[in-house]
Amino acid sequence: MSLSRLFNPRSIAVIGASRNPDKIGHVILRNLVEYGYKGKIYPVNPSANEILGLKAYKSVLEIDDEVDVAIIAIPADKVLEAAEECGRKGVKFLVVITSGFSEAGNEEGEKKLVEVARKYGMRVLGPNIFGYAYTPSRINATFGTKDIAVGGISFLTQSGALGIALMGWTLMEELGMAALVSLGNMSDLDATEISDYLADDENTKVITIYLEGLKPGTGKAFIEKMRRVVARKPVIVIKAGKSTRGSMAAASHTGSLAGSSRIYEAAFKQAGVLEASTVEEMFDWARAFSLLEIPRGDKTVILTNGGGVGVLATDAAEKYNIPLIDPSNELKNKLRKVMPWYGSVRNPIDLTGGALVDNYVKALEILEESDEVDNIILLYCRTAVLDPIELAKTLAEFKKKLSKPIVAGFVGGADVREAIRILNKNGIPTYPSPERAVSSLAAMLEYRRIRSRLGGVA
């Protein structure tokens, strides 16, 4: 069954929609309502007539309508009966929030849950999850933050608590999300199947996954399926539980086989999945993928107003295998005209600390036109003569004329932070350090190489 109705349901029932505003079932219902889901919402609670102004039903069987998705948030010993009723009702997807299944030694209960689902042709997300969200359908069926920034990043997570925490963090960082899926015990739907669906989702530009481990015996399938995903969309994974102690912690957390870090590294490489080493790095890269088209080539220039950050970016470019071009004499002559005589027309192109908005714009116009350049790393250090917000606003405008991928590193204080925000909002992935900008472009270039190797559109 396609997962389309999970992400674009016509109706959602919340089984265990509590009247108590502090309970999980209530919070999920509230988030669904307040985030603006436009389909039908049916609270199910045997002891309530109305919750949050919506008519409540004693059982899912009482609902006089088709139900595409049922969110289940009742204690574990009641889940099977509710699942059975959902099956009889013709529900298509069970999203089981409830804990107390295989992660707690109740393998039998989890097996039975999947059996019930199979019997009726339902699919199961979970159990032991914080829910899921899909911003294009205005679905927030989680007990995380009420609001979610909209964008092209889809995030799948095997850790619930981290997922909820990252919902708040992505909102603060204004990282736009498409789907957000808590994977939990992956009794049925798993990371590969959801990624496979999202690879064809027009709202998803990049898939990010927090992974603790795969189920024993699923490694080969992971590689094969992920290769097909990666041929369509970039996938970034952060693998937790790489240290010996960490892998023991992961085993008791989600029951996954954390395994040797080298085996996972090799599997990710074969699958063409990009492996980030920190959560921050994963979302840095994801930001670039969500805002830019995949680069057409790898010839790159650094444009800066500060020698120091230019050198740092150059070191980072070498570390990450980004080819920095040596500009031709013709290109150098053009660049010389837009900077003081003591600037540098070599790569990094240094407009010097006296650079004004106009110097950046003119240099960008030249770089945009030049066949020698595919990508631009734009750096800015706070100076007394150039207001970062003015530069950001001008660049945001200029971006409309720019066809080449551009990443930026802006270094400085509070007003620079605001400039970074403006740039990110306007489609230029911008970071508070040169290295993070370079690393993000490097991830895109790496993906470009992987995709052409896998036979995707280069």
Q: List residues near ligand COA by CB under 6 A.
A: 15-16, 18-20, 23-25, 44-48, 73-75, 78, 82, 97-100, 128-130, 160, 182
Cβ proximity to ligand COA: between 78 and 337 the closer is 78
Give min distance, CB of 377 to ligand COA, in A.
38
For ligand COA, the nearest residue by Cβ is: 160
Give min distance, CB of 100 to ligand COA, in A.
6
Q: Are 396 and 422 in contact (CB under 8 A)?
A: yes
Cβ proximity to ligand COA: between 110 and 284 the closer is 110
Residue with tokens 């945009």: 368
Q: What are phi and psi of 451, to 5 degrees?
A: -65, -40
Give min distance, CB of 82 to ligand COA, in A.
5
Cβ proximity to ligand COA: between 9 and 127 the closer is 127
Give min distance, CB of 413 to ligand COA, in A.
37
Give min distance, CB of 364 to ligand COA, in A.
46
Cβ proximity to ligand COA: between 31 and 98 the closer is 98
Task: For the chain, give the secondary structure using H, E and C.
Answer: CCCHHHHCCCEEEEECCCCCCCCHHHHHHHHHHHHCCCCEEEEECCCCCEECCEECECCHHHCCCCCCEEEECCCHHHHHHHHHHHHHHCCCEEEECCCCCHHHCCHHHHHHHHHHHHHHCCEEECCCCCEEEEHHHCEEEECCCCCCCEEEEEEEECCHHHHHHHHHHHHHCCCCEEEEEECCCCCCCCHHHHHHHHCCCCCCCEEEEEECCECCCCHHHHHHHHHHHHCCCCEEEEECCCCHHHHHHHHHHHCCECCCHHHHHHHHHHHCCEEECCHHHHHHHHHHHHHCCCCCCCCEEEEECCHHHHHHHHHHHHHCCCCECCCCHHHHHHHHCCCCCCCECCCCEECCCCCCHHHHHHHHHHHHHCCCCCEEEEEEECCCCCCHHHHHHHHHHHHHHCCCCEEEEEECCHHHHHHHHHHHHCCCCEECCHHHHHHHHHHHHHHHHHHHHHCCCC
Cβ proximity to ligand COA: between 21 and 36 the closer is 21
Give min distance, CB of 131 to ligand COA, in A.
8
Give min distance, CB of 98 to ligand COA, in A.
4
**Would strands 131-134 and 177-182 be described as parallel, antiparallel, or unpaired?**
antiparallel
Cβ proximity to ligand COA: between 47 and 403 the closer is 47
Cβ proximity to ligand COA: between 128 and 170 the closer is 128
Give min distance, CB of 66 to ligand COA, in A.
19
Beta bridge partners of 54: 51
Cβ proximity to ligand COA: between 18 and 154 the closer is 18
